[in-house]
Structure 1
Amino acid sequence: MSGVIAVAGLGFTYPGNVAPTLHDVAFNISPGEVFGFLGPSGAGKSTTQRILTGLLTGYTGKVTVLGREIGAWGRDYYERVGVGFESPIAFGGLTLVENLRYFAHLYRGPTRNPLELLERVGLASDANLPAARMSKGMGVRLNVARALIHTPEIIFLDEPTSGLDPVGAEHMMSLISDERNAGRTVIVSTHDMGLAERICDRVAFIVEGCVAQIGVPDQLRRQHGSAAVRLSWPGGQAVFPLMGLADNREFHETLRNKPVQSIHSQEAGLADVFTQLTGRSLT
């Protein structure tokens, strides 16, 4: 087993359940990688994250993080990892900046400036807002800021664009990319295909407690899409194979004679790839 995170033969069954939630899950995550878990609700994404973050015990198989079996870590584990949940977690009577200052005091090592972190997640103007008055999107961003407060080596994020508008989602993707560029490892569970396709170095499709496929988003999209381009014009469209496109007379005649408004390659989106590979929808 190798990698900053190495998982082999992972299984888990919740107490009182007969069927396992996870069975024979295996993957490796490299340092400085953004790794995404994709799958429908109930597929096992959150259970996997809870095991990796030490919140669930009693699993079978091997789970090694930073060279040590997860169960062998003590409190010092949380000095080296950061966790951002989807549901807002904060003290409602404290302001946003007071929440970050409180959480910063829980760590033994150096921490980031809370006001600078709030600015980084787009909450600087709300620094003195009581946390009880946050929207869901604000809570998600505060959770991410809290996960980064101690500059961890590994960052676990659950649906980090949930509740965010397009500008906020773009801001979050930029932040995650910056963390990767700084050498940190980011593990993301998400339904946001834009996030997965644009910033994940690799993704794992999880369905019914198993990893169905692991791959690089662009490669998966090309592998399971069509090697073709589609031309569209008012009232019509045509699809042409990429092979021999430069010499395709019909393609060039269409460009010359039709009021073409768009040209699109035909690679599949990750949601399409997931459906092709598993027969399931991501929703």
Structure 2
Amino acid sequence: MQVIQIKDVCKAFDQRQVLNNISLSVEEGEIFGLLGPSGAGKTTLIKMLIGLLSATSGNIAILGKELDKKIDESFPSFGMVLDNDGLYDRLNCYDNLELYARIYSISNRKKVINDLLEKVGLIESSKKSVSNLSKGMRQRLSFARAILHSPKIVFLDEPTSGLDPATTLQIHSMMKMLKESGTTIFLTTHNMNEAQKMCDHLALLNEGNIVEEGTPEDICLHHRKKCEVNIEMTNGEKYMVDSHDLLTVLQTVLDTNNKIRSIHSNEPNLEEVFIELTGRDLR
């Protein structure tokens, strides 16, 4: 089932075109990644998907409903983590979540909130003022707030940007947990490793245009011009060969009576593909 449908969407601010004829679909339960450098139009698109911006032209449907007509009905089905976290600095972690739990009319609020704080590693900081939280702690609290009401779709705009590796791993772990529960995730990122590791499906965005789309594996394989294989022998000798010559080289090195310690292929990654398609990197 397609839970997000974007068809021929354009967005312009005054005379500046930001998005050009974007058409995408997102399947239920997948992690969909929009990968591109800063200024490519990722945040603009995600703001359109959650109703903060309207399209200049084209159509967007969420859960089968046209967004511009049914935003009030669809909104409770969304969760979101944006650059502006919207947390209340004067409240503590627990009270921030309780405020939203009341808005969403969540029953058994105390248990739901404490369970979430436990999952995001903030239970010991539940009474800590948000103004005293680190960036990583704020991001984890934002994530907890985004999934507080068990939304069907969670929108994450650069959720690990500027975070330390440990916090990034925690965010990724929470994303996997959501996916396992059947939640659909729409992720924007300029981090190639994050996209390749986390996403089931990807669209590469550059200067407002989709330049490639597919699974991370298919995108990389589609743009593989050649496959190089690295061979390391037990005596320390190393060989790098084209896959077409692999059998000949293997026979040659094995005739020396040395044993192979390791053998692996060099595959193109998403950043190399992006550079090939656009002439620029992802930063």
Give the alignment's TM-score, normalised by structure 1: 0.89
Deviation at 1:159? 1.4
Q: 1:73: which partner in 2?
A: 70
Q: Which amino acid aligns with 1:137?
A: G
Q: Distance in 1 between matches of 2:255 and 2:134?
A: 54
Q: 2:104: which partner in 1?
A: 107
Contact 2:156 2:185 in 1 (8 A): yes
Deviation at 1:148? 0.3
3-state SS in 1 of match to 2:58: strand
Q: Distance in 2 between matches of 1:104 and 1:4?
A: 25
Runs of at least 5 residues in structure 2 that lack an aligned partner in the other structure: none
Contact 1:89 1:139 in 2 (8 A): no
Q: Which amino acid aligns with 1:131?
A: V
Q: 1:273: which partner in 2?
A: 273
Q: Is 1:62–2:73 an aligned residue pair?
A: no
Contact 1:79 1:152 in 2 (8 A): yes
**Residues 211 and 118 of structure 1: is their aligned pair in 2 closer, same or farther, counting only changes over 3 Å?**
same
3-state SS in 2 of match to 1:82: strand
Deviation at 1:48? 0.4
Contact 1:86 1:140 in 2 (8 A): no
3-state SS in 2 of match to 1:177: helix
Q: Distance in 2 between matches of 1:29 and 1:254?
A: 53
Q: Distance in 2 between matches of 1:85 and 1:58?
A: 19
**Residues 264 and 87 of structure 1: is their aligned pair in 2 closer, same or farther, counting only changes over 3 Å?**
farther
Q: Distance in 2 between matches of 1:255 and 1:133?
A: 64
Q: 1:199: which partner in 2?
A: 198
Q: Distance in 2 between matches of 1:271 and 1:13?
A: 27
Deviation at 1:281? 1.0
Q: 2:141: which partner in 1?
A: 142
Deviation at 1:58? 4.4
Q: 2:251: which partner in 1?
A: 249
Q: Percent identity of the aligned residues?
A: 33
3-state SS in 2 of match to 1:145: helix
Contact 2:51 2:71 in 1 (8 A): no
Runs of at least 5 residues in structure 1 that lack an aligned partner in the other structure: none
Deviation at 1:120? 1.6
Contact 1:137 1:162 in 2 (8 A): no
Q: Is 1:30–2:27 an aligned residue pair?
A: yes
**Residues 253 and 119 of structure 1: is their aligned pair in 2 closer, same or farther, counting only changes over 3 Å?**
farther
User: Which piece of structure 1 moves more, 134-143 or 206-215?
Assistant: 134-143
Contact 2:9 2:55 in 1 (8 A): no
Q: 2:89: which partner in 1?
A: 92
Q: Distance in 2 between matches of 1:149 and 1:255?
A: 62
Q: Is 1:46–2:43 an aligned residue pair?
A: yes
Superposed CA deviations along residues 185-243 of structure 1, whole A, max 9, x for unmatched, are 10001122222111200111001111111110122223334423223589974312334
Q: Distance in 1 between matches of 2:117 and 2:252?
A: 55
Q: 2:240: which partner in 1?
A: 239
3-state SS in 1 of match to 2:174: helix
Instruction: Give the RMSD, CA atoms, in angstroms.
Output: 2.4
Q: Distance in 1 between matches of 2:87 and 2:120?
A: 16
Contact 2:120 2:144 in 1 (8 A): yes
Q: Which amino acid aligns with 2:266?
A: Q
User: Which piece of structure 1 moves more, 121-130 or 147-156?
Assistant: 121-130
Contact 1:245 1:251 in 2 (8 A): no
**Residues 243 and 119 of structure 1: is their aligned pair in 2 closer, same or farther, counting only changes over 3 Å?**
farther
Q: Distance in 1 between matches of 2:273 and 2:139?
A: 28
Superposed CA deviations along residues 228-268 of structure 1, whole A, max 9, x for unmatched, are 3223589974312334645632454689278x6x6442111
User: Which piece of structure 1 moves more, 5-14 or 58-67?
Assistant: 58-67
Q: 1:177: which partner in 2?
A: 176
**Residues 149 and 252 of structure 1: is their aligned pair in 2 closer, same or farther, counting only changes over 3 Å?**
farther
Q: 1:166: which partner in 2?
A: 165
Q: Distance in 1 between matches of 2:7 and 2:114?
A: 40
3-state SS in 2 of match to 1:8: strand
Contact 1:95 1:128 in 2 (8 A): yes
Contact 1:8 1:61 in 2 (8 A): yes
Contact 1:88 1:136 in 2 (8 A): no
1:121-160 paired onto structure 2 within 5 Å: 121-160=120-159
